[in-house]
Chain A
Amino acid sequence: MLVRLFIALAIMSAGAQGQPAKQFRTPWGEPDLQGIWNGETLTPLQRPARFANKPVLTPEEAAKVEAEVAARPGRNARSERGTEKDVAGAYNQIFAQRGTRLSDRRTSLIIDPPDGRIPPLTPEGQKKRDAAREYMQALLQGTSGGKPGPPSPRHNDPPPDYNVDRLNRADGPEDRSLMERCLAGTLPKLDAHYRIVQSPGQVGITVDWGQGSGFVRTIPVDGSKHLPATIRFWKGDARGRWEGDTLVVDIANFSHKAEFQGSRENLHLVERFKRVSENRLEYTVTVEDATTWTRPWTFMVPWEKESDKANQIYESGCHEGNYGIIGMLANTRAAEKLFKQGKGPDPRTMDLATGGDIGGGIERER
């Protein structure tokens, strides 16, 4: 009897390891992705040069990298910079909610192309990126964060495209980054916690990201088609379908105001949500924009399940509590007034753009 029980248990556990996904079903028979998922990761989107040809680290190498980042004094230190950049860097590492562990010891989230790097830009994509960078550099000219020289005459020019970055200018809210304006709820969104709730034919995802910059998505999984191309959303228009146990979401109709790695209104995302075990969901995204990149590319982030009882997805209160943007504009108006009175420096010679530490990770981006 006891032997039989052991055999039964052994078969059950073997089954659980072999074909686990089948057991996650909603009462109405769809794959069940519901719950809180942690998608924070230390693995960067692109593979840093020092890990070229090394897509996966050994456990020892990974532990070393993780310890290195945790010990980096700049991770949450603002005192090393001058006051000017400290003030401008209203949002530092602590707002960026970066993970502390590498995902599966990988050195890039990008799985295709195999080199783990975003594919080359098209000539058109390169032109746009250059124009944006030149403009940003021009506004920084003559500050501690830019090239030497007098303030550029381009200070009076509008940005080449709807601005998404932190410019060295604060004439109005449009000069500040989408993050500072609480408009950064764009897709795809990495380094977040996600709560998935499903009803038949609908999937809702609450994205808790950036310490209060979160947002919610609703995805019809009902065979409906994309909205007319004239309708553009910051988060695009998402339509889902089930392919086996995988939720596949096609997102188009992005607004030109939203930006992902240089791509805007022509961005096309195909997300794949696949729950591979009780506690692991693989979130794979194929990114496509023929006007920006020479080929589509794909990244994968493993999400880890968290306790639904102990944890919460926190409400985003970024906009409601956004005193930072008021301070940035009011402060710059005051600096202009003092300059006019001969009591302070030309605000154009002060760096309002390069402070903060939001890019911190295993490789400092930008």
Chain B
Amino acid sequence: MRSLKREAVVALVTAVVISGIWLVATRQVQKRQSSNSSIPRRADGKPDFSGVWEATNSANWDLLTHAPRPMVGQAGVYSDVAVLAAPVVALGAIGWVPPDLGVVEGDEIPYQPWAAKRRQENLANWLDRDPEIGCFKPGIPRAMYMPYKFQIIQGTTKVLMVFEYAGAERTIHLDPVAPYPADAYMGHAVGHWEGDSLVTDVSSFTSETWLDRSGDFHSDALHVVERYTPITRDAFRYEATIEDKNVFTRPWKISMPIYRRLEPNAQLMEFQCREMAEETLLGHLRKNQLVKQWEGKTMRVEVTRKVPPGNAVYERHFTGNPPTRQ
């Protein structure tokens, strides 16, 4: 009798404990499913953006809504149907820009008239002008939506972002810091919290970075305000308001989700593109030309390098600044 009673008590206690565990477990599952409460947070309650991330859109090709188009094209049989041009003709379907919806609010970049013309020129001369081709630092906001992973290490007072492309990096200062005494490709960023959003103010830019592979550009008057807002545990909304009195008629805004790389061992790899870009950047200055021709089953591609005359040899960057200040 006594032992029966004891067994009953044990059973009751066990049931209570198990249902308790079950309840807690259920709650945790519910917690994980409800997006707001599942956002990783720091000891101080602020969201933790640490991790490996990547935008999966086509914004690095073109910020605006775009149909497929040749990476480099020329007139085809029909005036409105381009074909791949010589530098990419061997690539076939791979030589076409993947289509996507735009990331610009209103799907329009408010260029000043001279700048709209410059942007068209940039697009037409993409292979000669895009800083990405030279492995030059991507700048902000472009670094955030390149087709490479990037890592956020959110420290106590600094947020470090490391980009696989070119091993570029930037630091967002959450604590008071002296102004940056120079220009920086990746800008100088100070941040603060607005609720769950990390808001940064980025300035001290050079004029030598672009916004995409479509010739969208800015001057050294660029000023970017970014906003990082958690959507779920594994995604945040990235917004950037872009202002440049030399190039645009008004501030404009881009917005996109950026996703966590969910592989359990996700990590940055090394993409040392400086060495990779040397043949493109310096091949014309070799004593003996290295890349001369390529031959496949259906085509032969001949390459003749040209040395530009005089000081043009040193024209490494095509800056976004107006040719003469307007």
Q: Which residues of A contact B (CB under 8 A)?
A: 26-28, 32, 34, 170-173, 181-183, 185, 195, 197-200, 202-204, 206, 215-216, 218, 220, 224, 231, 233-235, 257, 308-315, 317, 319-320, 322-323, 325-327, 329-330, 332-333, 336
Chain A interface mostly: loop
Beta-carbon contact of B176 and A183 below 8 Å: no
Do residues B156 and A32 form an inter-chain contact, with CB atoms below 8 A?
Answer: yes
A27 x B270 contact (CB < 8 A)? no
Q: Is the Cβ of A224 less than 8 Å from the Cβ of B42?
A: no
Q: A34-B155, A233-B270, A234-B272 are contacts. A312–B137 as well, Cβ < 8 Å? A: no
Other-chain contact of B155, A199, A231, A309 (Cβ < 8 Å)? A199
Residues of A within 8 Å of B208, CB to CB, are 320
Q: How far is the CA of A28 from the CA of B46 in the complex (A)?
A: 13
* B155 pairs with A312, CB closer than 8 A: no
Q: CA separation between A262 and B170, bound complex, in Å?
A: 32
Query: Is B157 in contact with A310, judged by CB distance below 8 angstroms?
Result: no
User: Which chain A residues lie closer than 8 Å to B285 at the CB level?
Assistant: 172, 326, 329-330, 333
Question: Which residues of B109-138 are within 8 A (CB) of A?
Answer: 135-137
How far, in whole Å, are A219 and B61 apart by their CA atoms in the complex?
A: 31
**Chain B interface (Cβ within 8 Å of chain A)?**
42-44, 48, 50, 135-137, 151-160, 162, 167, 169, 171, 175-178, 180-182, 184-186, 208, 265, 267-270, 272, 274-275, 278, 282-283, 285-288, 290, 307, 313-314, 316-317
Decide: A319 near B274, CB < 8 A? Known: A27-B44, A172-B287, A313-B171.
yes
CA distance A308 to B174 in the complex (A): 11
Q: List 16 A-B contacts (CB under 8 A).
A: A28-B42, A172-B283, A181-B274, A195-B171, A198-B156, A202-B153, A215-B167, A218-B151, A218-B153, A220-B267, A224-B267, A314-B184, A315-B186, A326-B316, A329-B286, A336-B287
Given contacts A195-B160, A204-B169, A317-B185, 9 further A-B contacts (CB under 8 A): A26-B156, A171-B288, A172-B283, A183-B274, A195-B158, A204-B151, A204-B160, A309-B178, A320-B208
Q: Is the CB of A315 within 8 A of B151?
A: no
**Inter-chain contact B157/A308, CB cutoff 8 Å:** yes
Q: Is the CB of B287 within 8 A of A202?
A: no
Enumerate the 5 nearest inter-chain pairs by beta-carbon distance, A residue then B residue, closest first: A197-B155, A329-B285, A199-B50, A216-B169, A27-B43
**Do A312 and B169 form a contact, CB below 8 Å, given A199-B50, A200-B50, A203-B153?**
no
Given A34-B156, A216-B167, A312-B181, does the pair A323, B316 have CB atoms closer than 8 Å? Answer: yes
Query: How long is the Cα–Cα vector from A325 to B278 in the complex, in angstroms?
Result: 10
Q: Considering the chains assembled together, what is the distance between the CA atoms of A130 and B155 in angstroms?
A: 46
Residues on A with beta carbons closer than 8 Å to the beta carbon of B42: 27-28
User: In the complex, what distance in Å separates the CA atom of A185 from the CA atom of B272?
Assistant: 10
**Which residue on chain A has the smallest CB distance to residue B265?**
A224
- Give Cα A206 to B153, complex, Å: 12
- Chain B residues whose C-beta falls within 8 Å of the C-beta of A215 in the assembled complex: 167
Q: B184, A329: Cβ atoms under 8 Å?
A: no
Indicate if the CB atoms of A312 and B268 lie closer than 8 Å: no
